[in-house]
Amino acid sequence: QKEVEQDPGPLSVPEGAIVSLNCTYSNSAFQYFMWYRQYSRKGPELLMYTYSSGNKEDGRFTAQVDKSSKYISLFIRDSQPSDSATYLCAMNDGSSNTGKLIFGQGTTLQVKP
């Protein structure tokens, strides 16, 4: 079993829809949780960064972390065709001697006009 599980999709929604992307994980030591967006033939771009449990909002994006359930989510409101990309969750335990991120498989999202 992988440390981080993410439904690869693909997920197809109409423009304006609310999108929910999710990851589950098994390592209770994870404290830092990230969402990256990756367009085709590009490197991942950091979208959201959350420490421990709780919610964080940035424009149309909201990240939620529930450490008790080992479950994280990314919500996209008023989705746009430009949001079409692969969304990757990533996490680590935040120790000072490692930059190692554990990634989910990535969910491919298509927003149709």
Which chain residues interact with other proteins by CB under 8 A? 32, 34, 36, 41-46, 49, 51, 88, 90, 94-106
Cβ of residue 70: shortest distance to other proteins, in angstroms?
Answer: 19
Query: Which letter does DSSP use for residue 82 in this model?
Result: G
SS3 state of residue 81:
helix
- What CA–CA distance (Å, rounded) separates 54 from 101? 20
Which one, 50 or 64, has the nearer CB to other proteins?
50
Which residues fall within 8 angstroms of residue 34, CB to CB, at 6 or more apart? 46, 47, 48, 49, 50, 89, 90, 91, 101
Which one, 17 or 102, has the nearer CB to other proteins?
102
Cβ of residue 107: shortest distance to other proteins, in angstroms?
Answer: 11
Cβ of residue 13: shortest distance to other proteins, in angstroms?
Answer: 22
Query: Which letter does DSSP use for residue 77 in this model?
Result: S
Which one, 44 or 79, has the nearer CB to other proteins?
44
